[in-house]
Structure 1
Amino acid sequence: MKSITINGSKRESVGKSSSRLLRNAGQVPCVLYGGEGPIHFSAPELAFSKLVYTANAYTVVIAFGEKESYNAILQDIQFHPVSDKILHIDFYQLFDDKKISMDIPVKVSGNPIGVKLGGNLQRNKRKLRIKALPTNLPDNIEIDIAELNIGDKVYITQLFNENYEFLHPDNTVVCQVRRARAALVVETEEGEGEEGEEGAEEGSEGTPKESESTEGKESSEAKED
């Protein structure tokens, strides 16, 4: 997986007032968990743009000068409810021998047969949560959907990979091709039209029978006279 380097500065003081001063100076208060103890630090808000405002997944190298650095992943992030500015970020330290859980984006390739026939592609899951060693974390999970026809689905069990495990139920649908609603409406209307025509034909066939019975009745009355 690709990595982004964040150059940070360790914080000597923590607390609300200290965090407020950092934000006013364009810095983001952060905490790195997972090691011997939490490490409080800060970094410029602009340094997180490629990590936060993207659909891609990255690991992070948190560097404190040239001699001290830690591999990590973004664990949690808080935004201001009005301005959407980053308020706080939590990171989790990575170790080569410890598996980590992470959300990985799903990338689809190919133009489904079902879409060419008028169906709609539905992306049920745009990210999948996996568990793997840091060295086995993929940049994305790619699915070839070219052969999907209308009604076909891709289940999580079809994406098995020995390098990582999925943290989803086996019946999870990742994507599918569904019949377009417009096509369903047209078919329904056509079906109702055919039923109406059949009813009209049955009604028209019944008319001569009624006239025949009427003629027979008139004939019998004439004989009686």
Structure 2
Amino acid sequence: MAIELKANQRQDLKRSYTKLIRSAGKIPAIVYGKAKDPKAITVNSMELLKTVRDEGRNAIISLRVEGESNVDVMLHDYQIDPIKDELLHADFYVVNMSREMDVEVPIHLDGEAQGVKDGGVLQQPLHNLAVRAKPRDIPEEIKIDVSELAIGDSITVADLKESNKYEVVEEESTTIASVLAPDTGTEEASNEGEQEEPEVVGEDKAEEE
């Protein structure tokens, strides 16, 4: 079931009004879609943050704009003030619940790799997985068990279990996680420094004379 989020229409697009609504705890936003003209709205920033935190980045939101019927949307994009760490603007995209769409889903690695216990280093070059699914079938996250990964082992997209709810659209050869051997560069450099000094040619002969 979609989470409802209330919104108000925004007629005044002046910067002075934008500052006013932000001071009231709201942010300007746009809702748009293939069969819908862009509409300027405002939403409560705290309610939006709570929805994303509780339901995930790909949550289906039932947007309730005053005077209109609810519409199913997803948070397509947003802007954050890098200094104040506050929401500044949001874009909502109207979704067709019966059609598949491409989205990125966060990857969560479960367990402690055996290779890490043996001194290796776990690396995760891929943090989000591209999948194709109907809006209601989009997973909040994809969990991958790495507990059996030994040093030198890796998990690629091809190793993932198939799902009847979504299709993975990443290249099968893409590495998701791997365990590397511990870095021995420092130790080798130290051993090289401990090698015996080369003998100076002619030194023994000079001493004998």
Is the CA contact 2:60–2:136 (under 8 Å) kept in the aligned structure 1? Answer: no
Q: TM-score, normalised by structure 1?
A: 0.73
- Matched residue type, 1:101: D
1:57-96 to structure 2, matched below 5 A, reads 57=57, 58-64=59-65, 68-96=69-97
Structure 2: gaps of 5 or more residues = 200-209
Is the CA contact 2:130–2:169 (under 8 Å) kept in the aligned structure 1? Answer: yes
The alpha-carbon distance between structure 1 residues 137 and 80, as it changes in their structure 2 partners (threshold 3 A), is same
Query: Is 1:46–2:54 an aligned residue pair?
Result: no
Aligned to 2:27: 28
Aligned to 1:213: none
Distance 1:148 1:172 in 2: 17
Q: How many equivalent pairs are there?
A: 196
The alpha-carbon distance between structure 1 residues 54 and 167, as it changes in their structure 2 partners (threshold 3 A), is farther
Q: Following TM superposition, by how much is the alpha carbon of 1:55 offset from its aligned partner in structure 2, in angstroms?
A: 10
Corresponding residue SS for 1:131: strand
Aligned to 1:128: 129
Distance 2:19 2:30 in 1: 15
Distance 2:64 2:107 in 1: 29
Is the CA contact 2:74–2:92 (under 8 Å) kept in the aligned structure 1? Answer: yes
Q: Following TM superposition, by how much is the alpha carbon of 1:91 offset from its aligned partner in structure 2, in angstroms?
A: 0.8
Is the CA contact 1:104–1:127 (under 8 Å) kept in the aligned structure 2? Answer: yes
Corresponding residue SS for 1:147: coil
Structure 1: gaps of 5 or more residues = 198-202, 204-225
Q: Following TM superposition, by how much is the alpha carbon of 1:66 offset from its aligned partner in structure 2, in angstroms?
A: 9.5
Distance 1:184 1:66 in 2: 67
Is the CA contact 1:55–1:105 (under 8 Å) kept in the aligned structure 2? Answer: no
| RMSD of Structure 2 on Structure 1 (CA) | 3.1
Aligned to 2:168: 166
Q: TM-score, normalised by structure 2?
A: 0.78
Corresponding residue SS for 1:38: strand
Is the CA contact 2:55–2:140 (under 8 Å) kept in the aligned structure 1? Answer: no
Q: Which has the larger radius of gyration?
A: 1
Deviations 1:149-184 (A, max 9, x none): 111111122224343233433332111111122x45
Q: Following TM superposition, by how much is the alpha carbon of 1:75 offset from its aligned partner in structure 2, in angstroms?
A: 0.8
Q: Following TM superposition, by how much is the alpha carbon of 1:192 offset from its aligned partner in structure 2, in angstroms?
A: 5.0
Deviation larger for 54-63 or 115-124: 54-63
Aligned to 1:111: 112
Aligned to 2:12: 13
- Matched residue type, 1:48: L
